[in-house]
């Protein structure tokens, strides 16, 4: 059966967080006006700690001096959730989707993003799942991917961060997503050797098409190269 809509996929390489945020805002405005279709941005960020709308400054446990020394910015974000880390080796996805008319359900959308990532990592032999009462994708007691979203007039922004070869020591600077009794993991830690970022991006794109029953059309440089009512959700 033919799929009824297309999601354009832009692989943008590495962007600093403010540039990524500015790009999202421009695309959201265009999507609301019907001037573009649905878009999925895939990228990596330079090292940054972000505080969501529910973020607590006390969940950043490293000193400003240490963070400055390590080249880690601290920025506020209008996504849902608490505090998280973005950096090299982490695949970040920002879907800009209009959920109208038949997907106007915040919880369903979050579960769909989780399903995308669960399917994607399954292609590499990782059995991931959900944690009752918490958002994200988990392997045992460790979070593999964080989700924090924003929905305005049913157009989405922000999204997910999947740890591929991320330096997990950076999560020691924070209480990840404000959860004190869980850990953080990566594809590299789970497998011993990670697939390439390009292969992980391809798996995510394929899973996204399956879960959202959409065609995907890719454009832009490949990952790994330089290059009215508002709702938010997430735990970092």
Cis peptide before 101 (omega within 30 of 0): yes
pTM for this prediction = 0.91
What average pLDDT does range 5-25 have in this prediction?
94
The pLDDT score that the predictor gives to residue 126 is 98
143, 177 Cβ separation under 8 angstroms: yes
Active site residue 104: no
Please state the rounded mean pLDDT for residues 19-38. Answer: 95
Q: Which domains are delineated in the chain?
A: 6-234 (3.30.930.10)
Predicted confidence at residue 235, as pLDDT, reads 43
Query: Which is the catalytic residue, given 49, 51, 177, 194?
Result: 177
> Given a cut of 50, is residue 224 above it in pLDDT?
no
pLDDT in tens, 121-154: 999 999 999 999 999 999 999 999 999 999 999 9
What is the distance between the alpha carbons of residues 160 and 136, in angstroms, rounded to a whole number? Answer: 8
Looking at residue 4, its pLDDT comes to: 63
Interatomic CA distance for residues 214 and 210, integer angstroms: 7
pLDDT of residue 227: 40
């Amino acid at each position: 059966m033919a799929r009824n809509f297309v999601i354009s996929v832009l692989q943008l390489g590495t962007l600093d967080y403010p540039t990524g945020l500015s790009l999202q805002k421009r695309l959201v405005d265009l999507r609301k006006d019907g001037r573009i279709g649905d878009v999925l941005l895939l990228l990596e960020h330079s090292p940054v700690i972000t505080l969501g709308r529910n973020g607590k400054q006390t969940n950043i446990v490293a000193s400003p001096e240490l963070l400055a020394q390590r080249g880690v910015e601290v920025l506020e974000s209008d996504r849902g959730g608490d505090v998280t880390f973005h950096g090299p080796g982490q695949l970040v996805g920002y879907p800009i989707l209009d959920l109208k008319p038949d997907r106007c359900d915040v919880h369903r959308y979050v579960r769909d993003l989780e399903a995308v990532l669960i399917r994607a990592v399954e292609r590499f032999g990782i059995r991931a799942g959900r944690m009752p009462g918490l958002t994200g994708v988990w392997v045992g007691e460790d979070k593999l991917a964080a989700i924090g979203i924003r929905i305005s007039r049913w157009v989405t922004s922000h999204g997910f961060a999947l740890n591929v070869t991320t330096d997990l020591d950076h999560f020691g600077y924070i209480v990840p997503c404000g959860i004190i009794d869980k850990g953080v993991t990566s594809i590299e830690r789970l497998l011993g050797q990670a697939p390439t970022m390009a292969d992980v991006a391809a798996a995510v794109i394929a899973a996204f098409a399956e879960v959202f029953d959409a065609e995907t059309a890719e454009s832009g440089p490949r990952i790994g190269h330089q290059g009215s009512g508002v709702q938010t959700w997430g735990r970092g």
